[in-house]
Amino acid sequence: MLQPKRQKYRKQFRGQMPGNAQRGAEVAFGEFGLKAMGRGWVSSRQIEAARKAISRHAQRGGKVWIRIFPDKPITKKAPGTRMGSGKGEIFEYVAVVRPGRILFEIAGVARETAELAFSRAAAKLPLRVKFVSK
């Protein structure tokens, strides 16, 4: 699972997600891409599940690029903990995704294979996505 090697600060605020993606909105490396149409957090587990679905459907042919990285720590308190006593411990890492962001790219496979692989990956993600080509 993806997570940062080092961080300047261990815990972060939740933050806001206004606007559309400013960078990473074009297919840059591969021939086909999976573009986010909604906004939200994508956890490292969801990214890994989607990556596995894509590579399995493509029979490990072609090349897959992951264009998002989960670098935001999300904290959670243990169940049954009373209010107060500070911020909880780090539970998982998420990637902040805004509309227009390319999540995955693939090259070296047929269009139909890429579409099916991305539709399987879309089932693993918490956002609305669409298939795009270069």
pLDDT score for 60? 78
Nearest to 54 by CA among 129, 113, 7: 113
- Exposure pattern of 67-78 as b/e (b: 16+ CB <10 Å)? bbebebbbeeee
Region 48-75 average pLDDT: 94
Q: Tell me the average pLDDT across 33-58.
A: 96
Q: Is the pLDDT confidence value at 103 over 90? A: yes
pTM listed for this prediction: 0.93
- The domains of the chain are located at 32-77+88-129
Q: Answer for the pair 95, 17: CB distance below 8 angstroms, yes or no.
A: no
How is residue 20 written in tokens? 């559309």
- CATH code given to domain 32-77+88-129: 3.90.1170.10
